[in-house]
Structure 1
């Protein structure tokens, strides 16, 4: 008696055959389960995965080049258009409000399934299509920013709207990455891919900080937007031409609205999903991680300026990011190596998060006392470097828990993280002004980190929770 083995942890919902369409046949459609078994593992081959890793790394780098272009040019634009500090802050802050609103939508579209009656199978819309369309859109928006600024009678309104739209368009990036990785990359290689792609944010910040400042001085602020925007459009075109082989990037309303049976199951079980302790833990932990990262990113330059007024700005603006890039790559390699050697996936995720939130908090606390500029730079670099270990911890754990809806769930996490990050940045400013001490901010960051770490260590898991256990029996078919 032959037995088709039930799915394991790498079961992929990209291509699934459904016996529910043939209720008269108790064991399913002839040949359907064979097709399911053949396509069960729809992951990229390793050479293809490497190519995609480099492409997505470049895409994330260009994403941050376009995102940071406005902060770099803000002073020059304020002088050109006579903006006050309040008006400059309104333009810069509008990005984050737009960024919050499309996180869940981007993940939902990337996860979306479309039923194909002819093959009795289900196909995803795909995170790659969402990445392609969004990059073409925010790249074009970036390139047209100087034109909008010069030809609108009220530049402050056109720039605020443009930044809000930039946030909307870029908000789908990371949820789409999470969805794509969960469907196309095996569990033992997800950590390295996500940490490598995540390091693109630090690389992009460095590139636009160096090259953008040079272009700003030599050719004016407009050149920064033109170059970063056109490079993003070129990246999107190359991805469409050479990786998607010219496949139509159009996402139809039909593909969003006519999901297969698995889409409907996912809808019905969202409430059950949020009742899982592991899912709540990953959301809260990501919220804490994002809040502390946004706070450090926003206030560290001011901390160095106030505490060490004679220090060179390029030192503390560059060195921490130079440390973060290899640290992120190392964390991904280490996590995948441990999993491939047989270590429990849950334990590896917790270990990575312990480095990210636990060990990094030690160096954050060291900034509370009196220290010299070299030591402060070293502590900040260690903090930022260790923080990147979350790319192999909580950020990839969502793909372990719910690969069928990882994009939408990551969107929920990132939305919560963005909102809490904005609030914590404001509250940190209140603490600094009220106490007159930077130690209060670093103490708050440590407390939030330890709270998130304790919750993750207590409740995190790496087993799938997006499948109703009562449905698993359908894949144990006796012949």
Structure 2
């Protein structure tokens, strides 16, 4: 029998158990009455799972239980030993109960990042009616937009250390509920005054700051190497779809219910996610008692990050040139990305002359393109690795596309007068940018899988600095210059990043 079996009984307590007994329907549970002369066997096969009652003599009960336990351990046929199968107590298990647990974790991380960007980009739309109501100038708007990054910057490295030492489940759960509460408090803070709003936005950044390191820590333990690019691309595409959702629904909510409704509705979704996270997720496969043995073996054989971290080898980490390449390129990448994230609706409104509703809806297309491109890039990268291409070359190819693509399309914006072509260039710029998810964003787990949370915290700190400086500088540049100046700086940093990445990056493990 090509199956996995689990032996259990209501009358015996020291039986071998490699997993929990299956949940049964009310009708099935009525038949599971204690019987002193029977043992129950859970037979798990690929597409079905059945529970059988095996009859044994009372005097042989203990001997039979031990015999069956050894049979299960050795993977032999469990039915034809010392007992007779009398009846089947359950039938086919729904497909969703047999969905790989590692991909359940990936999807939960995906949904967390969906909420992350929904709660982040709603301000880029709400800031338009808010600035009109409170009389904010572009410099003040830039200050408000950048205040998020103050808190985001503080928790990058701390979040990585926390996740690598205590596990990512607690850290990511904390982050989601923290930023959700801050989102709900945003309208109240705005009414109290600008200083209160800046503090609440910084508090929101504190919560979102731990999300990436925690997620990176979790996936380094759950996802096999050959699925790394796809899983990370899917999770990061949650950010892009979060931008799509936030930018699409914010104008509608503002138009019908006022700008505060955006923060109240989006923030409340975090409690729903937290309930699922606490009941379904674990920090590592070792802690998950419901994980099927075959999946546990697959993960154990193919995941690089296994042992818990007791201390961080800072000197070793900071002595490696590829680490500094990762940090520098993260800065170059995030400068352009965060400017577009926070200022794109304003660009559409002021330069392309779209109204509030049009600005929000048209801002959706670049992020939708990113979601599609990120997953396509992840599939391409994993396919190349599985066909024998070195991880180093794959990471360099994907990140080169992620740098040179946006540089090319942002350059074209200087020569385009058509609003439709400008939107298309924005979409193409962001679409090629998304290949970075299979480049530098996958590289932390390549070079230091045990310390991937800390390493992401380090590089993302540089990325957040780019967000703080770039977002605030854009407000200043626009007050004294033009959008061409904004795009020129971004293009220059993309080119610098391309050179540094191809000279110093690697896809090999350099820190064990």
| Shorter-normalised TM range | 0.7 to 0.9
Listed one character per residue, the Cα deviations across residues 98-155 of structure 1 (whole Å, up to 9, x for unaligned) are 110001011111111xxxxxxxxxxxx21122111221222233334445666xxx34
Listed one character per residue, the Cα deviations across residues 388-442 of structure 1 (whole Å, up to 9, x for unaligned) are 11011001101111111111111111111111233234445566666x5544433
**Quick check: 2:145–2:471 contact (8 Å CA) kept in 1?**
no
- Mapping of 1:40-439 within 5 angstroms? 47-77=100-130, 82=134, 84-85=136-137, 89-112=142-165, 125-146=166-187, 154-244=192-282, 263=309, 266-267=311-312, 269-309=313-353, 312-314=358-360, 316-428=362-474, 438-439=483-484
Change (3 A) 1:366 1:338: same
Change (3 A) 1:142 1:378: closer
Change (3 A) 1:208 1:428: closer
The separation in 1 between residues aligned to 2:372 and 2:248, in whole angstroms, is: 19
**Quick check: 2:398–2:435 contact (8 Å CA) kept in 1?**
yes
Greater C-alpha Rg: 2
**Quick check: 2:248–2:364 contact (8 Å CA) kept in 1?**
no
**Quick check: 1:285–1:452 contact (8 Å CA) kept in 2?**
yes
The separation in 2 between residues aligned to 1:396 and 1:140, in whole angstroms, is: 30
Stretches of structure 1 lacking an aligned partner (at least 5 in a row)? 1-44, 113-124, 249-260, 468-479
The separation in 2 between residues aligned to 1:224 and 1:307, in whole angstroms, is: 25
Secondary structure of 2:265's counterpart equals helix
Q: CA deviation at 1:215?
A: 2.2
**Quick check: 1:87–1:156 contact (8 Å CA) kept in 2?**
no
**Quick check: 1:368–1:443 contact (8 Å CA) kept in 2?**
no
**Quick check: 2:186–2:200 contact (8 Å CA) kept in 1?**
yes
**Quick check: 1:292–1:445 contact (8 Å CA) kept in 2?**
yes
TM-score, scaled relative to structure 2: 0.70
Query: Would you say 1:466 and 2:511 are equivalent positions?
Result: yes
Query: 1:29 maps to what in 2?
Result: none
**Quick check: 1:66–1:142 contact (8 Å CA) kept in 2?**
yes
Secondary structure of 1:461's counterpart equals coil
Change (3 A) 1:365 1:221: closer
**Greater CA drift, 444-453 or 96-105:** 444-453
Secondary structure of 2:363's counterpart equals helix
Q: CA deviation at 1:275?
A: 1.6
How many aligned residue pairs are there?
392
**Quick check: 1:369–1:439 contact (8 Å CA) kept in 2?**
no
**Quick check: 1:352–1:392 contact (8 Å CA) kept in 2?**
yes
**Quick check: 2:477–2:486 contact (8 Å CA) kept in 1?**
yes
- Mapping of 1:435-450 within 5 angstroms? 438-450=483-495
Stretches of structure 2 lacking an aligned partner (at least 5 in a row)? 1-97, 289-306
Change (3 A) 1:289 1:92: closer
The separation in 2 between residues aligned to 1:282 and 1:316, in whole angstroms, is: 32
RMSD value over aligned CA atoms?
2.9
Change (3 A) 1:130 1:442: same
Listed one character per residue, the Cα deviations across residues 36-82 of structure 1 (whole Å, up to 9, x for unaligned) are xxxxxxxxx981122222211111111122223334333445566x4
Q: CA deviation at 1:278?
A: 1.1
Change (3 A) 1:444 1:103: same
Change (3 A) 1:240 1:100: same
Change (3 A) 1:94 1:177: same
The separation in 1 between residues aligned to 2:113 and 2:401, in whole angstroms, is: 24
